[in-house]
A and B are shown apart, each in its own frame.
Chain A
């Protein structure tokens, strides 16, 4: 369902050309929980940004659900992001002026759902992450773990096919990190595909498959992990 073939991403300035991804190829099937690890600057976040349509690729092809999305217009890319992809960020990225309910509401607004449908989805997702009793709280009134749960509820509200998580436990203590990972596993068990970027190998091990990225390419050299790299890549 997610298929990148020979994807390259080059950042250019007047004097420097940086290759963040080189001939990057990967396929993720429906229902997988894939972790992406690799050293700093290896290109794993660039991969996640391209997978989430937050950046455009320089060359190669990217198919999502069998559709080539590398040549979509801005409006179509926004729609795909809104309908098929949910994001979870390391720094939660909640909007401080909006309460919990309204934060989860943001992607649903852009989806154009009616008020009743939005309310139903928001309440369901807040219930799923254990925050159903606090819809009127503002982000600043919650702990880090609770804020990340709100972010997960927001990512889930649109019922996306993919969850893209960028260091989702990076700002949490180990107890909170464990509970967030438990939640992600639960979500994955219910059928949502998850791709999680992390630099913590112990967390990566919670995924069903791990991708090791080095120098902008998928590599099969990840000695400390039990790898299940897609065949023929690297």
Chain B
């Protein structure tokens, strides 16, 4: 009977083209608007490292001013001072920790025709790649000893390797950065965590840096911070070394803590570090240390803007309005077909047969609405891309994947079926005799 109902559904759609088109349009527009926002929300709020998000922790210690909290009501700073980042890194060497900051370098390619260009670089410690599961195309991360020995080694992004070496295996090659020569030890494969959770201070949805080098080398060579830097008291004119010893926050710190016991031990470690620092006259505020796993950190940092959440609510409401319209249109259609319903009842159709027939017809409308919805979602996302084309991260937000496409169709079909329930129930409740004598 399914094929028969399918045929009847198609015939009915063809017999009422205007009404059917209106229903498909109502569902399609609703789905299109909703899915456009959902797609953006889905990408923005996605878990960038689901397999480890529960055990990777952003580390915060409250070294801020005694007079005011870093953020109301009593939030500790989002980043760390150099003193604390390196102090904790060294004191906690039995924990797996990573410290890092954003900088920039000028790359001087070989050959007279090639002009120097500036890139973002990330100074970090060797465990960065393992902790965040960064994929390598060639080579591997530098070693712990390279960190200690301040070796001039670098890991290139796939894009930079493409630009400098045409995508070839460049392990062992030298790259000139600001007049200093660095040896390539690794080349990353494509890697684009969205959002860029490990550093939310500097463009939540930006590309990862194009080049990675040891933290120790960056500091020894006085690489400045190219990211957000905040200070609660001046650090004088002592140059780079004064900056390192200041209360300015500019370094991100993460720890991998696989068990609850490890997490407790790390909290105690932070508390004892800060308590010790207090004896040295630092940390004027009460103990206020935090560790937050990836999803908590994304929430604390409000990566998904409230406006987007509100838009999502509005888009859902819009879909509901479209569905209410569809219910109205379906009711109108049912009312036009009471004679057909009565006749079929008289010829032996049970209520459940008619219910199946009308639900399948609604499903067909839903599929058509879903397809239109996907097209409109694509158009909506293209529109957003064009509107915000100057912001490079937008291109990563407006990608549709199969999950979203299937979700759109599924949502459309479920919506159409939901919209069809009441009209179909009305249709099935028509007394067979009521319409058969009306001429």
Contact = CB atoms under 8 A, between A and B. Distances in A.
Contacts of A45: 437
Nearest to B11: A97
Choose among A78, A93, A171 the residue with the greatest number of B CB atoms under 10 Å from its CB.
Answer: A78
Given A54-B432, A93-B339, A95-B340, A107 B348 contact: yes
Interface stretch (B103-111, B269-277, B349-357): B349-357
Contacts of A79: 348, 350
B381 to A, nearest CB: 39
A171 B346 CA distance: 20
A81 interface: yes
B280 interface: no
A208 interface: no
B439 A90 contact: yes
Contact of B345 (A54, A96, A98, A109): A54
Contact of A166 (B15, B339, B432, B437): B437
Contacts of A93: 339, 343, 436
Contacts, number: 72
A75 interface: yes
B181 interface: no
B4 A95 contact: no
Interface of A: 45, 49, 52, 54-55, 74-75, 78-79, 81-83, 87, 89-91, 93, 95-98, 106-107, 109-112, 154, 158, 166, 171
Interface string B1-26: 10010000001101100000000000
Choose among A110, A111, A158 the residue with the greatest number of B CB atoms under 10 Å from its CB.
Answer: A110
Contacts of A109: 1, 4
Contacts of B438: 91
A55 B339 CA distance: 15
B52 interface: no
B431 A87 contact: no
23 contacts: A45-B437, A49-B433, A52-B346, A54-B345, A54-B346, A54-B433, A55-B433, A74-B350, A74-B351, A75-B350, A75-B352, A78-B353, A81-B347, A91-B439, A93-B343, A97-B11, A107-B347, A109-B4, A110-B344, A112-B1, A166-B436, A166-B437, A171-B439
**Which 4 pairs of residues, A with B, have the shortest CB-CB distance?**
A82-B348, A54-B433, A78-B350, A110-B348
Interface of B: 1, 4, 11-12, 14-15, 339-340, 343-353, 431-433, 436-439
A98 B347 CA distance: 15
Contacts of A95: 340, 343
Contacts of A112: 1
Contacts of B432: 54-55
Contacts of B11: 97-98
A84 to B, nearest CB: 10
A191 B205 CA distance: 82
Contacts of B4: 109
Contacts of A55: 431-433
A78 B345 contact: yes
Nearest to A73: B350
Contacts of B431: 54-55
Nearest to B15: A97
Choose among A49, A52, A79 the residue with the greatest number of B CB atoms under 10 Å from its CB.
Answer: A49
Given A97-B11, A97-B12, A87 B347 contact: yes
A52 B349 CA distance: 13
Contacts of A49: 433
Choose among B4, B352, B353, B432 the residue with the greatest number of A CB atoms under 10 Å from its CB.
Answer: B432
Contacts of B339: 93
A97 B336 CA distance: 14
B349 A110 contact: yes
A110 B439 contact: no
A81 B349 CA distance: 9
A111 B348 contact: yes
A81 B346 CA distance: 7
Nearest to B353: A110
B348 A78 contact: yes
Given A75-B350, A81-B346, 8 more contacts: A45-B437, A52-B346, A74-B351, A91-B437, A95-B340, A110-B349, A158-B348, A171-B439
B132 to A, nearest CB: 61
Contacts of B12: 97
A82 B433 contact: no
A90 B348 contact: no
Nearest to A98: B11
B11 to A, nearest CB: 5
Nearest to A81: B348
A55 B345 CA distance: 11
A73 B373 CA distance: 42
A211 B431 CA distance: 26
B15 A82 contact: no
A111 B437 CA distance: 24
Contacts of B15: 96-97
A97 B339 CA distance: 13
A141 B10 CA distance: 22
A166 B439 CA distance: 13
A106 B433 contact: no
Nearest to B7: A102
B341 to A, nearest CB: 11
A87 B437 contact: no
Contacts of A158: 348
